[in-house]
Amino acid sequence: MKLKKKSFLVILLVSFWVGYSLLSLTQIIYTTANYKKNINDLQNKNIDFIFETSTDYILSENFESLEAQMKEATKRNFFNYYCFMKGNKKIFEYYPNADVAICETLSKGHFDKSKANYKT
Task: For the chain, list residues with pLDDT below 70.
Answer: 1-6, 98-100, 102, 105-120
pLDDT for the residue numbered 3: 47
The domains of the chain are located at 13-78, 80-115
pTM, two decimal places: 0.54
pLDDT for the residue numbered 113: 46
Residue pLDDT, tens place only, 36-61: 999 989 888 888 888 888 888 888 88
d(CA 33, CA 28): 9
d(CA 45, CA 64): 24
DSSP lists the bridge partners of residue 102 as none
